[in-house]
Amino acid sequence: MSTSSPRTRHRLGLWALTATHAANDFYTGAVAALLPFFVLHAEYSYAAVAGITLAATALSSVAQPVFGYLGDRYGMRWMSLAGLLAAGAGIALSGIVADSYAAVWIVVAISGIGVAAYHPAATMEARELGGGTSGSMSLFSVGGNVGVALAPSAVILVVGAFGLSGSGFLIIPAVVLGLVYALVSWRHLFSRTTSAEQTPATSRASVPDDWRAFLWLTAVLATWSIAYVGTSTFIALYSIERFEVSTGFASIALSLFPAAGAVGTLAGGWLADRFGRLRIIRTGYLLAAVSAIAIVLAPSPLVVIIATAVLGTSLFLPFAAQITLSHSYLPNRIGMASGVTLGLTLSLGGLVSPLLGSVADKAGVQTVFMIVAALLVAGFALSFVLKERRSSSETSAEPQDPAIELENANG
């Protein structure tokens, strides 16, 4: 009984952390869902709501590596809970202060910074609780997919019923799940252990950070980011422009894309642990490139829907493997690796999206998906520059629990 208790705590901790990831990323999805209400009820211009999006995403992406550095240097595990509560509070206040655009911009920016503070600290803890496996990282990662997917329905339900001032109710997921997380993971939450301290001194001396390999991985992730944002932004418009379908029909592909991504995230982590990270990364990019080409050549809107579902699944197959690979490249800077992987690289797509919009205006949306396909081919090619790296620094992240070690030894 005593040997299974630590294992149970690790498992409960990982599930509680995954739930907080869903709540945290819920507020990322809530920003996009609130924009139409700001236009309709607060009479904001399109340029104004674009500024709100910038406040939520740009500051968050730039801040994540900073919080990652702080986590590596000082521990500060409490940033995951503090970030979650800040993310929820900012979105909750956004509708209440809608009469002042400046106030909305500030509270949404605070929410974005909260999202940024959450990710590095939570990713470091997920790595510890799950033993550094891609499977456990995929479970943690899929929480974010779920949160983003649930946000539009929740925002429509709450704001549709109570108006913009009802946004205050949106803080409930942060408070409830944050409380559960604090109760389950109290010892982890206030641990001051840094990523460097997790690695024995002998390992730190023999396993230095490989910045060159990490930069190559960042380049691969850049192609992923643009492909992801490009597909999310233009897939519905593509179906409408090319096949003249209704907006309702066109939204099917848009809804399937993140749902398929959740499936791909879970499957990719499980497969990476069994067949190797690089094999799954390369397979994911190859299948994604083929799916994007299928969208370009699709003879009917039904084929677009099917190809988009396959694209969502294959694009997220490498997701967890890429995170754990970044940790192996920077074993002494896990927070920094997490911050860059989840922050700066994912923001690149947002920065490039106006350029893709300009291409769509001039050459049609189909051309955008030609670019997406080309980028995924480039990502597939670049993935062969990546190298596997397993070291004692990775295994040091495994839970020090005799029951778990015995289970791993027995396969």
**Residue range 48-98, pLDDT digits in tens:** 877 787 788 777 778 888 888 888 887 778 899 999 999 999 999 999 999
274 plus 348 within the same structural domain: yes
301 pLDDT above the threshold of 90: yes
Residue 9 lies in a domain: no
| Whether 22 contacts 87, CB under 8 Å | no
Tokens of 226: 């643009």
**CB < 8 Å & 24+ apart, contacts of 35-41:** 37/95, 37/155, 37/159, 37/164, 38/98, 38/104, 38/164, 41/98, 41/163, 41/164
pLDDT number for residue 206: 61
| Whether 95 contacts 159, CB under 8 Å | yes
pLDDT number for residue 54: 75
Residue 366 lies in a domain: yes
400 pLDDT above the threshold of 70: no
Residue 316 lies in a domain: yes
| Structural domain boundaries, residue 251 | 211-391
Cα(332)–Cα(344) distance, rounded to whole angstroms? 19
Model confidence pLDDT, tens digit, residues 235-282: 888 988 899 988 778 878 877 888 899 999 999 999 999 999 999 999
Cα(294)–Cα(275) distance, rounded to whole angstroms? 27
Residue 166 lies in a domain: yes
Cα(3)–Cα(402) distance, rounded to whole angstroms? 7
Q: With bands split at pLDDT 50, 70 and 90, how would you rate the model's confidence at 351?
A: confident
53 plus 174 within the same structural domain: yes
87 plus 133 within the same structural domain: yes
Tokens of 192: 């001051």
| Whether 380 contacts 286, CB under 8 Å | yes
Question: Domain boundary at 198, 223, 251, which?
Answer: 198
Question: Domain boundary at 163, 198, 233, which?
Answer: 198
49 plus 187 within the same structural domain: yes
Residue 402 lies in a domain: no
pLDDT number for residue 318: 96
332 pLDDT above the threshold of 60: yes
Q: With bands split at pLDDT 50, 70 and 90, how would you rate the model's confidence at 220?
A: very high
E strand segments, 32-169: none
| Whether 316 contacts 265, CB under 8 Å | yes
221 plus 282 within the same structural domain: yes
By residue count, the chain amounts to 411
175 plus 317 within the same structural domain: no
145 plus 279 within the same structural domain: no
Q: How many domains does the chain have?
A: 2
187 plus 217 within the same structural domain: no
229 plus 312 within the same structural domain: yes
Model confidence pLDDT, tens digit, residues 382-398: 999 999 987 544 444 44
176 plus 317 within the same structural domain: no
153 plus 288 within the same structural domain: no
pLDDT number for residue 197: 53
pTM listed for this prediction: 0.77
pLDDT number for residue 5: 59
Tokens of 318: 């490498």
Model confidence pLDDT, tens digit, residues 155-187: 889 988 899 999 999 999 999 999 999 888 776
371 plus 256 within the same structural domain: yes
| Mean pLDDT of all residues belonging to the chain | 84
218 pLDDT above the threshold of 90: yes
What CATH code is carried by the domain that includes residue 322? 1.20.1250.20
Residue 325 lies in a domain: yes
Residue 2 lies in a domain: no
pLDDT number for residue 305: 96
Burial class (CB in 10 A: 0-12, 13-18, 19+), 2: exposed
Residue 401 lies in a domain: no
Q: What integer is the mean pLDDT of 331-336?
A: 90
pLDDT number for residue 189: 64
Question: Domain boundary at 198, 222, 240, which?
Answer: 198
Q: What is the DSSP string of 283-350?
A: HHHHHHHHHHHHHHH-SSHHHHHHHHHHHHHHHHTTHHHHHHHHHHHSTT-HHHHHHIIIIIHHHHHH
Model confidence pLDDT, tens digit, residues 97-149: 999 999 999 999 999 999 989 988 888 888 888 888 888 889 898 998 888 88
3 pLDDT above the threshold of 70: no
